[in-house]
Amino acid sequence: MSRKEVRILQGTLEMLVLKSLAWGPNHGFGILRHIETVTHEALIVEEGALYPALHRMRDKAWVEAEWGRTENNRRALYYRLTPDGEAALRKQHDAWSGFVEAVTAVMEPVRA
């Protein structure tokens, strides 16, 4: 059985990461797995895209990070949302919902 993989639209990665962290602190690989799991592997985030995004979000004070241990007892940097990150998530979610609503209005109903 093949899976249907969807490309992540530019500008949505930060929103997906923030939403993943809204469930609680997590390390980079855990964030990747969370996104893959909840989308049934339709969205695959590459490490080469994730870590620069996390650095940008730290620079914006949307996330904070501290060292911890994974479930496999490996040392990893754990990220968590800040109040600014929660506000950014709400703002991005509202913008995304408006975008989806607008695109849906154009696409529905489909004429034969």
Domain ranges of the chain: 13-104
Cis preceding linkage at 83, omega within 30: no
The 10s digit of each residue's pLDDT in 82-104 is 999 999 999 999 999 999 999 99
Q: What are phi and psi of 63, to 5 degrees?
A: -135, 155
d(CA 100, CA 71): 37
CATH of 13-104, one of 1.10.10.10, 2.40.50.320, 3.50.50.60, 1.20.1050.10: 1.10.10.10
Residue 68 reports pLDDT greater than 90: yes
What tokens appear for 15 in the block? 């929103």
Q: Long-range contacts of range 66-70, CB-CB < 8 Å, 24 or more positions apart? A: 68/25, 68/27, 70/27, 70/29, 70/30
The 10s digit of each residue's pLDDT in 8-18 is 666 799 999 99
